[in-house]
Amino acid sequence: MHRSSSARSHAADHYEARFPGHRRKGGASGFKGGERRRGLGECYRNGDTWGRSRGRLPLGQHGTSFQRAAGRMKDAEEWFRKALKAQETGGLTSSHQAVFVMVELGECAQKVGRYQEAEAWFQRALEIEEAMLEPADVQVAYSLRAMGKCKQEAGKFEEVEAWFQGALRIKEAKLGPVDVHVAYTLYQLALSVRRAGRPGDAVPLFERALEIKEAKLGPDDVRVGYTLHDLAVSVREAGRPEDAEPLF
């Protein structure tokens, strides 16, 4: 389907120019065909990339156009689905490439509030990963965290904690207890615990996440600020307003 340059981002134009094969009826199947479609899907879903499989492109002078591209979920889904179909046609249904596209489709569905559909995509991707990789592979941890975030956005707080705990165990074992990615998962776990009505249990999780982020990112990083704020809220909700005040 043709789209004028004025109606789409330079990112998508750039990708289409570099990989014109997707225009052919039916297109290429397998890895190359799937990668073309996946890359174009990312152009429409994200405002800052034109396909992670081809490397990141800085915003630079195209910043405004990238921002126009952000949030075009319908276009993104169209190309991700074509990517998955091409991979399935090429016999790559249970491949890393197919998993990437399933996760992207899950994120598209999640961003527009179709949480049940998003969970189905994440679950399908996770099952393939667990069959291909070791159960404790760090990539499995990222998929567990993606599922946890989806359930968190859907308000299923009673289900969230187990997903983040699973991701946390793997990351601690594979990346070490003070890796910044451990801190990111600790933060999400702490949020879910607090939103489930247990702010006191969330406090030590936020404290540990804060300690790692300050060490790895520096005290002035905005992510440190978010964590500090959420720690303060948890301390206050746990019935210790006098301890919370200095943290705000």
Reading the chain (248 residues) residue by residue, the pLDDT tens digits are: 444 333 344 444 443 443 344 333 344 444 444 444 444 444 444 444 433 433 333 322 232 223 324 557 777 888 888 888 887 777 766 777 888 888 888 988 998 899 999 999 999 999 988 888 877 888 888 889 889 999 989 988 888 899 999 999 999 999 999 999 999 999 999 999 999 899 999 999 999 999 999 999 999 999 999 999 999 999 999 999 888 888 87
Residue in the structure block whose two tokens are 């206050």: 236
Please state the φ and ψ torsions of residue 114, each to the nearest 5 degrees. Answer: -95, 70
Q: How far apart are CA 119 and CA 143, in angstroms?
A: 11
Q: Which amino acid is at 119?
A: E
Q: How far apart are CA 67 and CA 81, in angstroms?
A: 23
Residue in the structure block whose two tokens are 């990989």: 19
Contacts of 64 (CB under 8 A, 6+ apart): none
Architecture category of domain 155-247 in CATH: Alpha Horseshoe (1.25)
Coil/strand/helix, residue 25: coil
Here the tokens at position 208 are 């540990």
Q: Which CATH class is domain 65-147?
A: mainly alpha
Q: How far apart are CA 31 and CA 74, in angstroms?
A: 23
Residue 109 and residue 74 in contact, taking contact as beta carbons nearer than 8 Å: no
Domains 65-147 and 155-247 in one fold: yes
**Domain boundaries of the chain, sorted by first residue:** 65-147, 155-247
